[in-house]
Every structure is written in C-alpha cells, then in structure tokens.
Amino acid sequence: MKTSLIKKFTDRAAVIGIVGLGYVGLPLSLRFAEAGFKVLGLDIDPAKPEHIAAGRTYIQHIPAEAIHQATARGFEATTDFTRAREADALILCVPTPLDAHREPDLSFVLDTTEALLPHLRAGQIVSLESTTYPGTTDEELKPRIESTGLRVGEQIFLAFSPEREDPGNPNFTTRTIPKVVGGTTRACLEVGVALYSQVIDRVVPVSSTRAAELTKLLENIHRAVNIGLVNEMKMVADRMGIDLYEVIDAAATKPFGFVPYYPGPGLGGHCIPIDPFYLTWKAREYGLNTRFIELAGEINHQMPAWVVGKVAAALNGQRKAVNGSRILVLGLAYKKNVDDTRESPSVEIIEQLVALGADVDYSDPHVPRFPKMRRYQFDLESVMLTQESLAGYDAVVVATHHDGFDYALIREHARLIVDARGMYRDPAPHIVRA
C-alpha cells in the first residue's frame, strides 16, 4: 500500500484533494497543479468552487491568471465531499481559531474529518496543515479515521505538516519555503515526505506529528514573544525620550545573536495572536503555565489602547478632545500590503476611538469597504487620500504601513499624525510616535 502510494506521487499520477480553499489551501492547490497533479479542491463554502470554475481570484495576492492556469490543467473544486474518494492525498487546510473563552476551537478540523470519514479508503494519506496543539493529529484524527476500520500506518496514512506562509512577501513562494512533516508512524512519514517532496524544494522530516505540531507553535510563539518584548521596549523608550527605532537599527548592526523586531499597534492576523494559546491550553493538561506566552499576549493586547492614549494626549496638546474629533485611521489590514483584516489591531483602535466619541474614518487601498466581522460592524468605505481629505481630519493614525500610502503627502497635509509604525523618523511638531 505504502509503496504504490509513494509511486503514484513520484509518477505525478496521484489526485490531490485540498480541503479548505482559503489563504493556505488555495496557493497549495495551485502549486500541486503547477507540478502536474490533478487537484480536487473541497470546501463547504459554495462561493469558492464558483470563483475557481470562473477563473476568478478571491485572495488579493493570488492573481486570477494563476487560477486560470491551474483550472486549465484540471484543477477543480466542489462542495461534494463524496468526491474525496477520488483523492490519493487529502490535505486539510481549515481554520483553527479560538473560541469566546480563548480556548482552541477545533470544530472546523473535526467537522471536516467527520465529513470525510464515509469517503476514506485504503491507499490514501490524510495530512493536517492547520496550526494546532501537540497531540491533535494522534488524539483527534487517528481514532476517528480508525473508526472506519482502516488501520493508520498500514492501509491509510496520517501526517501533520504545518503551513508556513507570509502573505504579500514576494521573496518566498509555496515551493521555496521548507516544509516540516511528521507522521503518525514511520510509514506515514515516508508517504508524507514523498507527497510534499513533489512540490516543495526542501522537506524537513521530524520524528512525530507532535514534534511537527509544536514546531509550528514554536515559530509563532517566538514571534509573539519578541513582538511583545519590543512593544514593551517601545513604552520604556517613549517614557525615557529615546528613539527606539534608532536603537533597533543600531542593535541590528550586531552580526550575531540579535534579530530586529519592530513595535506596532498590536498583533493581528490569523496566526500570531491566536496560535500561542493553543499551547497554553494544552500545557495546562500537563500542569504547566506558559508564562512567556501570557505575558507577551498581555503586552501586545494592550497596544491598541496605548495608541488611542497617544491620540488622546496629542489632541489634548492642541486643546481638543477625542470626543467630536474627526480621526482617520490609515490601514485596516493587520499588516502591510495585504487585504487581510482578521484580528487587525486597527479595528480595535477604531472601536476604542468610536467609543470615546470620535468620528472615525479609515483609508486602506487593499480594503475598499469595511468587511463584515464577527465582533464589529462599521458601515465605512475607504477614504481616498488627497490634500483636502487629509486636511479635514483632526488626527491621522498610521496603523498599517502599506507601501501604497503617499507618506510625503500625509506628512504635508495632515494636521496631526500619530505614527504607530515608525514611518516618520524625522521629528516634527505635528508628528507623535505611538
């Protein structure tokens, strides 16, 4: 079983099923299609197969042309899970958010698994890519898969291979980002490595699915903790009247042992604010507290309020109150040059300013309309940046440093700039760091 499945991968004769066609699943589908595989996408959202069939993109940094090329090579998508049987590999790329109590919400992973169970067959590999706590694959997926009578490691194979993506970063592609793989058994690992080696330049095998799951969490926790550290440094340097950006640039000249991280208005995106708490939750089962994670979370979580405090103080300096002021927030996406607003601190900043009575608008060339969100609802459209529009606001907050903003225009025409991204290094009376 193992040998014939591996051969199907190396011969590129396998059908690759990608379940969940979002930020992770869509680019992975395109990469498998590009490598000559027949790719079958599965999603519960009927809009995704419709867009794909029409050759339309629904993720800004993925060009429609790439989807078109893939469909021309046989890439198709469906909501019909009975077709999972056609796939030799089933790669799960569904969301793993936190619930209202900030605990792991595995419902998407488990619902997907349950939906696939009736259609599993001998000679397939199931690979989970969603970020999750160590033990998920072995404790949650394996027993469910084996409830069908198929034995993992003999008739069907199971792996965990975390996605690594940096949306909007032009220096890396799915193919050139090394990929870690762990298998439930030795045979599972071999099949997993064979699958991913066809499309990824460097596959990094690890000894277990748990090691692979924790690898992903370590990467994201490393970022969350270092961003928390630099945000704390920002508050200290601010009180001491030291320019932290100058300090970071100077420290970064050390050729070893220092990695620059930059402060900001808080954490955003689907990964860094969320993933560390998957480990926190699991660690409790072992009687452990993840204190670095909690502390970084606490500091990073405080940042939108810190920025709002800076806005209030700066307006106060001009004998104005937040209440009644017109404020423009630049950037709704959580990071530059992307259209992803999930967990964006900009949204939190807007909410806090509105709660204080400000009249708030936003400008974001990547987000023309304020999207529907689970927690927030604002009926806003992105404001065009012009001399007149900028001059009409009491304050402009640089929350996301998109390349598309004209920073010279903003500097010249905004009455007050509160800069949470270090875009204005030269001091000016109307510019305040936040």
Q: Which is nearer to ligand NAD, 216 or 421 (CB)?
A: 216
| Smallest distance, ligand NAD to C-beta of residue 311, A | 30
The reply to whether 271 belongs to the active site is yes
Q: Which is nearer to ligand NAD, 128 or 353 (CB)?
A: 128
The b/e string for 118-147 (b: 16+ C-beta within 10 A; e otherwise) is ebbeebbbbbbbbbbbbebbbebbbeebee
Question: Which residues, in sequence order, are CB contacts of 3 under 8 Å at separation 6+?
Answer: none
d(C-alpha 329, C-alpha 287), whole Å: 43
Q: Which is nearer to ligand NAD, 71 or 185 (CB)?
A: 71
d(C-alpha 92, C-alpha 98), whole Å: 18
d(C-alpha 119, C-alpha 93), whole Å: 18
d(C-alpha 281, C-alpha 54), whole Å: 42
Q: Which is nearer to ligand NAD, 218 or 384 (CB)?
A: 218
Q: Which is nearer to ligand NAD, 42 or 322 (CB)?
A: 42
| Smallest distance, ligand NAD to C-beta of residue 260, A | 21
Reading the block at residue 326, the tokens are 């017109």
**In terms of DSSP H, where are the helices of 130-264?**
136, 142-146, 186-197, 209-240, 244-251
| Smallest distance, ligand NAD to C-beta of residue 179, A | 11
Q: Which is nearer to ligand NAD, 174 or 352 (CB)?
A: 174
| Smallest distance, ligand NAD to C-beta of residue 52, A | 11
- Catalogue the long-range contacts made by 299-303 (C-beta closer than 8 Å, 24 or more residues apart): 299/228, 299/231, 299/232, 300/224, 300/227, 300/228, 300/231, 300/266, 300/267, 300/273, 301/266, 301/267, 302/266, 303/231, 303/264, 303/265, 303/266, 303/267, 303/345, 303/420
Q: Which of 271, 385, 395, 397 is catalytic?
A: 271
| Smallest distance, ligand NAD to C-beta of residue 395, A | 31
Q: What is the dihedral of CA 317, 331, 129, 178, to 10 degrees?
A: -90
- DSSP secondary structure letters along 352-391: HHHHTT-EEEEE-TT-SBPPP-SS-----BPPP--HHHHH
Q: Which is nearer to ligand NAD, 34 or 43 (CB)?
A: 43
Question: Taking CB positions, which residue lies at the least distance from ligand NAD?
Answer: 22
| Smallest distance, ligand NAD to C-beta of residue 194, A | 22
**DSSP H or E segment with residue 98:** none
What residues make contact with ligand NAD under the rule CB under 6 A?
Answer: 19-25, 42-45, 48, 93-96, 108, 111-112, 129-131, 163, 165, 167, 270-271
| Smallest distance, ligand NAD to C-beta of residue 221, A | 13
Known catalytic residues are 271
